[in-house]
Structure 1
């Protein structure tokens, strides 16, 4: 059986869920088309989704298409839930990007297309809402060409746009050979000598679409059904089917985890090779996204299955922090004809629901590690403290937030035991409201939030080195640890290296040092995480067990992992002190449209907010500003914009990069650890073996 795992992606309100309903109805899976406004859609199953009219969680539903089983994955369109989209991308064979014929290319549209192109996911574009007043297919096509900067092949054109009678007229235009010839020399030659046949053009279109070289564009309306039959034909003919060897070793990736009625974990996974069977004992684990969350968001440069420590040469680079476990599959479902159906086994290409793997996490590999879970979108840049209301216990709240973080690894849960506070990292205010409603409806917990603050990061300013020797200079730990900290390029992650021989002490001690380094980097000198740096272990030493006559081994005088875990934060923090760190704040790239005659009032306000306009263009009476603005000032800019532009301003922003804080007081974040910046306080909290 041929399979196609298809993602539906869009900016919020472009009509993505409505298109999903229309596709399911056209395939005969549902008898009536659900309405987003009425809360009756097939894929928006959460009560909160139906009430708000937005997709919050990705959902899988299948339908048959000309002998192909399509597993359609509906994803959220709101930027606050971009993490849900991120996790789906790694399991897709193809995608449909929905663009509104009225609003055109929006901020999220550009983010999604850039990511689809980077991952080389074959993508069709459906320009929706051609029946809405103000729809302009030609203008949107021109806008997509300018702002998406991708090769587009219109598969026809809209007729009577902007009216209830709008329809799609299929037919490849004269521009198609031009676009296709850029990737096919033989087609170019035939085009130039006038011998190019229509069949040759369509063959090239299918081949190049499946390789994500070009993107066919359809026009239509999910509400009226215009253009949808042609889109369905394109899905079947222009997107590649799932591949994978069903006889190979098991390799699958978990992209979603939810809790069942009894609180049991249910994992959604894409099988890339091999087969999964009920009652199989399956190894699973990762060194990727989930471990990054556990150590404060520090990414591991080694990836999901990085190179292990290697003896010889006295140096090893980038071993992944792995978490491997094993569980027995107690239940298995596949998706067929609009629902999930229990099966005893499932093979390569399938998307499955799996029961029985209690310790499973998003990003885990089942069986042999295969496609690694990678962050494709920006990290969350906001944080808020969750305040328990009357009758809400802190322990219950922490447990509930931890379970929510299981379902969304980019929701970082941070607990400050000293202050008794729990905070979460988020993408926006809508996501905060959803977390509040979820805690109330699913866990019965009443909470409020403090004011949202911006999440910064720290980067080493230079190189720093520190060392403490076993039993010397007031070191109460039976361990020698030397560490050198060096800057690394943005996005490089944390790399741990050795400049000592691997055999110089037990492997468990090296692992204790590396794990503690990654954990400690979750809080730099100013309290922010350090996501990118190289840490090299320069000195090592330990106290082996010593045998005394008639007494056996003296355990009190031998090193343990506790000694290395206790000493490492002191050494690493001192190395960071000597290197120095710079606090970096998140910066958004903005595009602001406003009447030309209001730009004079806008520019001084942008300057006061720390925004830097980079380009200014005029489109008739409308001015277009592009530049960067600190993420912390975006909300204020949004609030002030209507008054400055007579209500005609339109602002689009998206995370772009981190930049050093150059204005005002450098922001600090309260520490939640034992504070290795204060040696005396740290030692009193960590150990009773405090030296003089």
Structure 2
């Protein structure tokens, strides 16, 4: 196959995994890496020491709590395709980080717990996918435990998500009675083995006697009847409807027992879309950038500091949208016009990092930098392309923060600015008073902040109640904003980009001032980049 940007982009599959906490996302991630040949045995990377972790959960607080707090990427080559798996935080407090990660994904795998179905957080994340027209593959996990009736699960997908479920497989039993699944297209039976170390037997034809080794007559009748019913009741899988976001192919399995994972990977390879053309602004005009275009371009959707505790590193996650990137290339930022040589770009292969000699549209590379790159930055060879910015959301909780040792106040400012640039927190500097106000979408973010400020910056901080409950970005003419600011000095602050922010004591106060100042808009979101 030719090594042209268009041909290379066509073999990329960049996808994210979305789920409710505890649905088994991290286990599925590990087993996808195993199925893709990126690791040799599930869990073996962790067994070889903390610095060789398969799982993306590298932060101390993640290891202690068993939750994913920061999104990362893992790349693996399988069956002639290059897969980029974007791991997203599963905890609801980190929806903003998840939203940004989904801007870099071309497809998503929605993991449902077979016993719980669609949970509130899954619904929230699904809405984000719908906003961005991201096609979704559904993996119903934990079939080896007690589960809801599969028809009820499909019905829930149809009613709660307004999405046509199209099962590609049908389970035979669940919990202790789980015996495997029927491949509805190939008309074969895929046996399940409870002892994962022995592996699972290969599929056998459904119309012969080989199935009788795995299912007794009653089980076989039940499975075949269910398969027949679901094919009559469901719309047949239509790849076009899937790509348009109207239909989701459904696979059943158990990530922990590595069952159904190979089928999920094959489904992603066959049906998930390669990178597509992206809208871009150039010289005030809106146009599109195609993956096969010669100019290298892309955007930063995440910045992560201190991934390696031995080095105070700072890595920008850069999603390529066009061209053939080569190590040592010079890229320009659209916002600042600054040019940078990308001499040590990183590819993330499971637990390993390697220098990326080349990369194409769909790939995500890590660019080490010292505070030069920010979330939402657009980079290209000419520096003239601007991709839509990534959103900041109005925080739901505001806290004042100070450091116990007053001599370290300067260090605190630098550390908070670093975390704000990563998107871990939002930082507001009130115009009056010296305490910083930090904003977060949920309580857990403050715990992560305190943990990281302690471990990475040796700062012992205190979060205190803030007199403010709401934050809104101000929009309008400079004169109108200045008029508002002059009469509300005590409630004014600026964010990390020096944009004006109104800090209100309540939602009622926002409505009150909005009525009195109709020329000023009070915005819940602001684009970065």
Name 1:13's counterpart in structure 2: 22
The answer on 1:349 being equivalent to 2:382 is no
User: Distance in 1 between the 2:83 and 2:300 partners?
Assistant: 19
The answer on 1:263 being equivalent to 2:296 is no
The answer on 1:78 being equivalent to 2:91 is yes
**Is this contact kept in 1: 2:334–2:386, CA < 8 A?**
no
| Helix, strand or coil at the partner of 2:40 | coil
Name 1:397's counterpart in structure 2: 412
Q: CA deviation at 1:330?
A: 2.4
The answer on 1:250 being equivalent to 2:283 is no
2:248 to 188, 210, 215: 215
Q: CA deviation at 1:91?
A: 1.3
Name 2:429's counterpart in structure 1: 415
Q: CA deviation at 1:360?
A: 0.8
Name 2:129's counterpart in structure 1: 116
The answer on 1:278 being equivalent to 2:294 is no
The answer on 1:236 being equivalent to 2:269 is yes
**Is this contact kept in 1: 2:432–2:490, CA < 8 A?**
no
CA spacing shift, 1:384–1:12, aligned 2, 3 Å: same
Give the length in aligned residue pairs. Answer: 436
Which structure has more relative contact order (CA 8 Å, sep 6+)? It is 2
Structure 1 residues 370-389: aligned runs within 5 Å = 370-375=386-391, 378-389=393-404
Q: CA deviation at 1:248?
A: 2.2
User: Distance in 2 between the 1:522 and 1:67 partners?
Assistant: 62
Q: CA deviation at 1:585?
A: 2.1
Q: CA deviation at 1:526?
A: 7.4
Larger Rg: 1
User: Distance in 1 between the 2:255 and 2:462 partners?
Assistant: 38
The answer on 1:126 being equivalent to 2:136 is no
Q: CA deviation at 1:523?
A: 9.4
**Is this contact kept in 1: 2:20–2:121, CA < 8 A?**
yes
**Is this contact kept in 1: 2:45–2:351, CA < 8 A?**
no
User: Distance in 2 between the 1:66 and 1:141 partners?
Assistant: 30
Q: Compare 67-76 and 266-275 and name the one that shifted more.
A: 266-275
CA spacing shift, 1:281–1:225, aligned 2, 3 Å: closer
Structure 1 residues 129-208: aligned runs within 5 Å = 129-163=142-176, 165=178, 167-171=180-184, 180=235, 205-208=238-241
> TM-score, normalised to structure 2's length?
0.73
Q: CA deviation at 1:230?
A: 1.8
CA spacing shift, 1:345–1:225, aligned 2, 3 Å: closer
Q: Compare 347-356 and 398-407 and name the one that shifted more.
A: 347-356
**Is this contact kept in 2: 1:329–1:357, CA < 8 A?**
no
Q: CA deviation at 1:416?
A: 4.2
User: Distance in 2 between the 1:148 and 1:522 partners?
Assistant: 47
| Helix, strand or coil at the partner of 1:158 | strand
Q: CA deviation at 1:5?
A: 0.8
| Helix, strand or coil at the partner of 2:366 | strand
Structure 1 residues 31-70: aligned runs within 5 Å = 31-34=40-43, 41-70=54-83
Name 1:25's counterpart in structure 2: 34
Q: CA deviation at 1:378?
A: 4.9
**Is this contact kept in 1: 2:334–2:378, CA < 8 A?**
yes
> TM-score, normalised to structure 1's length?
0.57
The answer on 1:527 being equivalent to 2:495 is no
Alignment deviations for residues 355-412 of structure 1 (CA, whole Å, 9 cap, x no partner):
357511011000142432332x853211111132247611111111111111116x22
CA spacing shift, 1:422–1:283, aligned 2, 3 Å: same
Alignment deviations for residues 597-635 of structure 1 (CA, whole Å, 9 cap, x no partner):
xxxxxxxxxxxxxxxxxxxxxxxxxxxxxxxxxxxxxxx
CA spacing shift, 1:135–1:65, aligned 2, 3 Å: farther
User: Distance in 1 between the 2:45 and 2:442 partners?
Assistant: 22
User: Distance in 2 between the 1:91 and 1:14 partners?
Assistant: 23
User: Distance in 1 between the 2:412 and 2:169 partners?
Assistant: 54
CA RMSD between the two structures:
3.7
Alignment deviations for residues 507-531 of structure 1 (CA, whole Å, 9 cap, x no partner):
xxxxxx58x9489769957726899
Q: Compare 34-43 and 46-55 and name the one that shifted more.
A: 34-43
User: Distance in 2 between the 1:277 and 1:520 partners?
Assistant: 49
Runs of 5+ in structure 1 lacking a partner? 181-200, 287-322, 460-492, 497-512, 532-564, 587-657, 663-692
Runs of 5+ in structure 2 lacking a partner? 1-7, 186-226, 277-289, 514-529
**Is this contact kept in 2: 1:279–1:330, CA < 8 A?**
yes
Name 1:444's counterpart in structure 2: 458
